Amino acid sequence: MNASDNVSSRYESSFISAGTPTVAFNRASLSKCIICMERDRTAFIMPCGHQYCMVCATHLESNSATCAFCRCKITGVGRLMF
């Protein structure tokens, strides 16, 4: 056994698999705007369809002109109808 075998065997024996990560969401967190996390999602941006609150959506449209999630060029903001 050479020195590199010894190092790799020590590494493998100290490695612990964490398994598959899981994430739990509740319905309330899914309805909140992903930018401000305060207001409900009431608007969507075109053409990608990502949803934000109207305040954040209009702010994105007027300031950056790109979606905060996918960076596509915003062509308009629409109101979600429930």
Q: What's the confidence (pLDDT) of residue 9?
A: 46
Residue whose tokens read 């934000």: 52
Q: What's the confidence (pLDDT) of residue 27?
A: 56
Q: What's the confidence (pLDDT) of residue 13?
A: 45
Domains of the chain as residue ranges with CATH: 3-79 (3.30.40.10)
More confident residue, 8 or 54: 54
Q: Which H or E run includes 48? A: none
Q: How far apart are CA 37 and CA 32, in angstroms?
A: 5
Task: Indicate the residue type of 33.
Answer: C
61, 66, 68, 70: CA torsion to nearest 10? 140
Q: What is the pLDDT of residues 17-74, one digit of tens each?
A: 556 655 454 555 568 999 999 999 999 989 999 999 999 999 999 999 999 999 999 9
Its pTM surpasses 0.75: no
